[in-house]
Amino acid sequence: MSTIAPASAPAHGAETVAVAAERRWSVVVGVIIALLVLMMVVTGLHWASMPPSRVETIDVKTVHLRGEFVESNLGSALEADGRVVVRLIAQQYSFVPACIVVPAGMPVTFRGTATDAIHGFIVGRTNANTMLVPGFVATFTTTFRATGEQLMPCHEYCGTGHEAMWARVQIVPAQEFLTRARDGERVDCVSR
Ligand code: CUA
């Protein structure tokens, strides 16, 4: 029967090295955790002391029935003041309208809300990106440079149908859009 050699000097040295490495690693992890906690505290205090300046709320119970987000008012519109405004609703598991038309090369303002859960969207690889929270109106203005079609997926997990929730955005030449949006028409590209 062979016996295992008792802990000799080299083995003991390896253990010392291992313990030192563990200790170093625990210090690194400790520092990372402390930094993350500090970030949470700082951002929490920052947001608590400087809340968003423009919060627009909306009654979820009447969103479909009256006001800006009734179905006949959804889609893209050329406002009386010349602005292009896209109004949309997110719900489990679709966007209304499911196909949005916007002009290229001019500012487009999105106004959207959600009726049930938190949703969100991003338009292709553009910077058009927002969350849609029930009870709140999300709005932002962006300009699409290139014409073409982009996918607009929901990017906030909203339930079992989340991955199938997406819309399309057609970016058309400004002149084409302005022709279609004339007379206050609500424009979309949903096939009916
Ligand atoms: Cu809607 Cu994810």
pLDDT (0 to 100) of residue 3 = 55
C-alpha 151 to ligand 1 mean position (Å)? 14
Tokens representing residue 86 in the block: 């896209």
Q: What is the pLDDT of residues 143-178, one digit of tens each?
A: 999 999 999 999 999 999 999 999 999 999 999 999
Burial 18-30 (b: 16+ CB within 10 A, else e): eeeeeeeeeeeee
pLDDT (0 to 100) of residue 182 = 85
List, as one string, the DSSP characters of 25-87: HHHHHHHHHHHHHHHHHHHHHHHHHS--S---B--GGGTTTSSTTSGGG-EEEE-TTS-EEEE
Nearest protein CA to atom 1 of ligand 1, as residue? 119
Q: What is the mean pLDDT of residues 97-111?
A: 96
Beta strands 119-122 and 129-132 are antiparallel
Q: What is the mean pLDDT of residues 88-115?
A: 96
Model-level pTM?
A: 0.74
C-alpha 111 to ligand 1 mean position (Å)? 17
Q: What is the pLDDT of residues 52-72, one digit of tens each?
A: 678 899 999 999 999 999 999
Q: Is the shortest distance between the CB of 154 and ligand 1 below 6 Å?
A: yes
